[in-house]
Structure 1
Amino acid sequence: MGDNSTAFSLPQPHLQRTKLCDMKDVELDPSYVKKREQLKEVVASIIRPKIVQGKSLNGKEFVSFLEQILDALNKGEIPSTGSLVEVFNKGILERCLKLYSEMMAKLGLPLPEESLQEAHEKSRGEAMEVFDKEHFGRHHAQKSVMQLDEEIQKVFKNVILQNEYRSSKLCEALYTRCEDIMDQLQVLRLPSMAKFNAGFLQCNQSFEHECVGPSKENYEQRMTKMLKKSRALFIKEYNHRLFNWLVAFSLVMVVIGRFIIKFILIEIGAWLLFIFLETYTRMFWSAESLYYNPVWHFIVATWETLVYSPILDLDRWAIPLGVVLSCLILYWRCYGKRKHGSRWLLPLYRSPKNGPSRARTD
């Protein structure tokens, strides 16, 4: 074993060690120079040249080759055991993320926040279950699980923003529709508290049923304020408009009873209503106290029964019915009395020229 030893001991090159780098071989100890040359021969006999692509590398070329290898390792271009596992799990991660995204895309947005959270948990659980069944490795798989969860959270945040946007658009449309309905009810041709209440209830119920998502609470507050304001405004104008309508109605019935139908009871009833509204109420009650009187309540109840019911909405059909009745009255006035004569059982107006002719006496 002693013959195979390549150990070498070199003598001291020079006493001035700080100047060794500046000295030439002739200035160094001859024994050192001799031993150094022997060391070179031993090293040259032991080492083998690095051959790359059939070419032997010298020292500088070998250093450059090592630098290239280190750069490739740092950049991950040369696969290692960990990198191979990550590449294998990356494909599984992408499939699981796609599965989660597809399941969330099938949701009919907008949804309540609780329902959206439940759908997220269910979809995430299924994606994680698929990953647990197909992933490779243990240590590197934990990193992939964390990465998958981060990607799922990013997708879920986008779904939350989309849900908020669609909820806002839906509730805004419902709010605007109800606002338009309330505006239309404010200007009814024939004021009806029953019709206003029916529209009010239908609008409120449709909003409660159809408006969903995170924007519902905000729009519910706006909806409540708007409905209260509309109701207060309608009630404020209701009695006044109804009073004016009844006055106009009584005058119209006076004209119809006297000149068109010539039915004295209709004219008398219309005159009584007109006198009650314009004279009696102003003599004994103020305009405000009239609305609390039982007689007025009876008039209002009768009006509501005639104007609006589940069968007939007089506000919608008032003009068509008025045209039809006018045509019937005109036909009766022009042709009906000529064919059949008058058969009224109640007293009618009689013109003197239509009465029996009597002989003139002196």
Structure 2
Amino acid sequence: MAASHGWLRWLILVAILHCLWSQHCALVSATRVGEPIRLVAPTDDHTRLQADSRGLDVLRRSPDGVPVSLVSVIGPYRSGKSFLLNRLLGVPCDEGFGVGHRRETQTKGAWIWSEAVTADADADASAEPATRVFYIDTEGFESAGRSGNYDDRLFAFAAAVSSVLVYNLPESVREGDIMKLSFAMDLAKEFVAPNKTSATKLQSKGFPPGTLYWLIQRDFLEGSTVQQAVDTALAEHANPDNNRDLAQLNDVRLSLRSLGWEHIGRGLRQPHVDRTRLCELTDDQLDSTYVTQMHDLRHDIRSRAASQPRRLAILRDSAMDGKALATLIERVVEALSDTELPSWSRNLVEAFNHELVDVCSDAFRTEVRGAGGFPLETDVLEARISAANATAMETCYLSRRFGTSGVSARLLSRVNEHADACREHNALMSTSGCEAAALQCEQAMDSLSSVGVLLSKARFDAGIASCMSSTFDVKCKGPRRSYHQGRLEERRRGTREHLLVAYNEQLHARALGALVSMAIFTRCAWRSWLLESAAWLSALVLWAYPHATTFLSSTIGAPSLYETRFWFFVSVAWECVAIHPFVTITLLALLLLCSFRATVYRFVHALGCCGGRVGRLAYACLRFGSKPKSTRASV
């Protein structure tokens, strides 16, 4: 029984301790304002970068449409960057970024504070009140086991994504500190272009101008101000001896100035003589000047960051929200790690211009194909492609590009692909239209050259010309026109040759039939021995001449019947009849009228001879064309 009561007491004690621990954890969670989360991590060989999804999720959780600004602190190894960030955030060391012995395990790569801060209430009126500001701590350079390329990548990353960059330096600005920013030379090569309207003759073509703080900690110098010291350090120094190291340093100075950053020099007094106890001391125990300087610095950085949310020209200078900035960070990290230095800067340009390439290539395709009218003549299509290319390259890309390295190779490739596709599409449309038009004209040729109809050279030529002008010239355009036009012309010549053979044979048979009919007509209806004889003689010659052509050609060199002048006039007469329907109908009507009148005349004359008075009266009426005054008088 006693043992069971003992176990019961232990269970009650454990439950009470659990409740107390839960309340403590809840209280700590309620008072905790955030935590550092890794944003970018180094690779295993510590030479490249890789994005961490946990840090990106911090930005993605930011409300949609709310501008986001990043403040990054860079500087040498163990220069007090993490402690500075904790002071800027207003959090103790044990809750903020790792300081001291914790730095070795935490500050590898870049870390972001999980909670955003806002500008102070008395911030600059130009600041956007909705802008959320995040702080980033970066791994210091010159640490053991790392290459210089890793430092360049890390600091280039901070410069690419941050609106405010704080360069934390001990004591003063030295030439070595400036050389640590040599990555700016590669950035300047890609992102800075000449500007005739600017006083410095340079303009940023990628990153919008941000702010670079040159923060000198433990500042004890007298005389010139920190800002004057920074301006002097960034000014180009004379190099009369063409010293190689000094020339390289001057290049870095020029690059830093040309990137468009606003360089601000600020100083901080040493907070306390015992640096190992800084995290344990309160503001009352720190140097009062340091506390005042830190308060002003915190206010200034937050105000500038809130008024400068990240913007990019390729996004039409719109402020980026958390999701857009997370995507930008992924792309920058990938671009910085894809290639070896110094080509990473060009790769970074390609990464930033990824969407712009798609937009401009789509604009090229829309301008070429959107106007329609396919198929087009080759010169017209090439002119349209050239105009669309100018629009895509100059109006779309070069005016909004990120960087200054000229036209993107990817854009050139995409534009050339679209241009080739348009040419192929134009050729297919041209082939389709020309084949359909040529087929219609070929059918017209077959119809006009059919043996079953009255053949006519003039009608054939007029029909083909009409088909060419109304069908082929309208439907057949583009690069395949010349090929199909040549093929159709060859078909026309062959068809016309066959037409001439059938035409001459048909005209010969019809002429022979007409002469025989004329002979019979003049024999039976219109008695004229002269016309009848001429008709029979002409028919005989017309029938016999073609059969004797071979013999005559071999003996006396006589031409073919179809080459004689006689046949030429026969052909012309037939063409006049065949090509003019009115003339044809008129001649047929006159011929029928004469034939009918002569036939009736002969019939009535015979009737008058055999039928007495009535026949003689009808014969007289038909002959004189008028009715007699009286029957008796007529008789």
Report the alpha carbon displacement of residue 168 of structure 1 after superposing the two structures with TM: 0.9
Paired residue secondary structure (1:80): helix
The reply to whether residue 80 of structure 1 matches residue 332 of structure 2 is yes
Is 2:553 the partner of 1:282? no
Pick aligned residue for 1:135 from 394, 401, 407: 401
Question: Which of residues 455, 473, 476 in structure 2 aligns to 1:191?
Answer: 455
Q: 1:349 to 1:269 in 2, by over 3 A?
A: farther
Measure how far apart 1:164 and its partner are.
0.9
Quote the Cα distance in structure 1 between the aligned partners of 2:545 and 2:427: 61
Q: Quick one: which amino acid aligns to residue 137 of structure 1?
A: G
Counterparts of 1:251 and 1:269, CA distance in 2: 11
Give the C-alpha shift of residue 162 in structure 1: 0.7
Over 3 Å counting, the alpha-carbon distance change for 1:297 and 1:136 in structure 2 is closer
CA–CA distance in structure 2, aligned partners of residues 162 and 313 of structure 1? 51
Partner of 1:164: 427
* 1:27-82: CA deviation from partner (whole Å, max 9, x where unpaired): xxxxxxxxxxxxxxxxxx9622757999xxxxxxxxxxxxxxx9xx9x99745376
Q: Deviations over 1:95-144 (max 9, x none)?
A: 222221111111411122222111111111011122111223335xx4x6
1 CA distance for matches of 2:561 and 2:448? Answer: 24
The AA in structure 1 aligned to 2:439 is T
Kindly provide the CA deviation profile for residues 142-186 of structure 1, in whole angstroms up to 9, marking residues without a partner as x: 4x6221111111111111111111111122122212211221121
Instruction: Tell me which moved more, 197-206 or 299-308.
Output: 197-206
Work out which of the residue numbers 89, 95, 100 in structure 1 matches 2:359. 95
Give the TM-score normalised by structure 1.
Answer: 0.59
Pairing 1:246-285 to 2, within 5 Å after superposition: 246-251=511-516, 262-264=525-527, 272-273=534-535, 275-279=537-541, 281-282=543-544
Measured after TM superposition, the shift of residue 308 of structure 1 is: 0.9
Q: Distance in 2 between matches of 1:251 and 1:216?
A: 50
Distance 2:432 2:402 in 1: 45
Q: Are 2:421 and 1:155 equivalent residues in the alignment?
A: no
CA–CA distance in structure 1, aligned partners of residues 391 and 438 of structure 2: 38
By how many angstroms is 1:263 displaced?
A: 4.4
Q: How does 1:172-321 map to 2 (within 5 A)?
A: 172-187=435-450, 189-204=453-468, 207=472, 211-251=476-516, 262-264=525-527, 272-273=534-535, 275-279=537-541, 281-282=543-544, 286=548, 289-309=560-580, 312=582
Match 1:111 to one of 359, 376, 387: 376
Distance 1:229 1:350 in 2: 56
Letter of the aligned partner of 1:286 in structure 2? A
1:210-264 per-residue CA deviation (whole Å, 9 max, x = no partner) reads 53222123223322321221121111222111011223344556677788xx444
Query: Which residue of structure 2 aligns with residue 354 of structure 1?
Result: 608
Deviation of 1:202 (Å): 3.6
The aligned amino acid for 2:562 is Y
Q: How many residues end up aligned between the 2 structures? A: 271
For residues 243 and 209 of structure 1, the distance between their equivalents in structure 2, rounded to whole angstroms, comes to 39
Q: Deviations over 1:285-342 (max 9, x none)?
A: 8357333333333222222211213x6496xx89xx98xx69x97xx97xxxxxxxx7
Aligned twin of 2:102: 48
Report the counterpart of residue 18 of structure 1 in structure 2.
none
Assess if the C-alpha contact under 8 Å between 1:281 and 1:290 holds in 2.
Answer: no
Q: TM-score, normalised by structure 2?
A: 0.36
- Tell which deviates more after alignment, 275-284 or 221-230: 275-284
**CA separation in 1, counterparts of 2:415 and 2:499?**
52
- Contact 2:445-2:495 within 8 A present in 1 as well: yes
Q: CA 1:168 to 1:284, structure 2 compared with 1: closer, same or farther past 3 Å?
A: closer
Is the CA contact (8 Å cut-off) linking 1:251 and 1:270 kept in structure 2?
Answer: no
Closer/same/farther in 2, CA of residues 113 and 94 from structure 1, 3 Å limit: same
Separation in 2, partners of 1:283, 1:274: 14
- Mapped to 1, the partners of 2:446 and 2:545 lie a distance apart of 36
Deviates more, 1:292-301 or 1:80-89: 80-89
Which SS does the other structure have where 2:560 is aligned? helix
Query: Could you say what the CA RMSD is over the residues aligned between the two structures, in angstroms?
Result: 4.4
Provide the rounded CA distance (Å) in 1 between the counterparts of 2:489 and 2:567: 30
User: In the alignment, is the contact (CA less than 8 A) between 1:264 and 1:348 conserved in 2?
Assistant: no
SS at match of 2:408: helix
Higher helix share: 1
Farther off after superposition, 269-278 or 216-225: 269-278
In the TM superposition, residue 87 of structure 1 has moved relative to its aligned partner by: 5.8
Q: Distance in 2 between matches of 1:157 and 1:357?
A: 95
Instruction: Give, in whole Å, the separation in 1 of the partners of 2:545 and 2:482.
Output: 51
The answer on whether the counterparts of 2:512 and 2:542 sit within 8 Å (CA) in structure 1 is no
Structure 1: distance between partners of 2:102 and 2:515: 126
Q: Alpha carbons of 1:46 and 1:119: their partners in 2 closer, same or farther (altered >3 Å)? A: closer
Alpha-carbon distance in structure 1 between the residues aligned to 2:542 and 2:332: 105
Whether the aligned pair in 2 keeps the contact of 1:264 and 1:349 (CA below 8 Å) is no
* Sequence identity (%): 21
Please state whether the residue corresponding to 1:179 is helix, strand or coil.
Answer: helix
Return 186-195 or 245-254, whichever deviates more: 245-254
Distance across 2 between alignment mates of 1:226 and 1:158: 32
For residues 185 and 280 of structure 1, do their structure 2 counterparts lie closer, same or farther at Cα, with a shift above 3 Å needed? closer
Q: CA deviation at 1:200?
A: 3.8
Specify the alignment match of 1:58 in structure 2: none
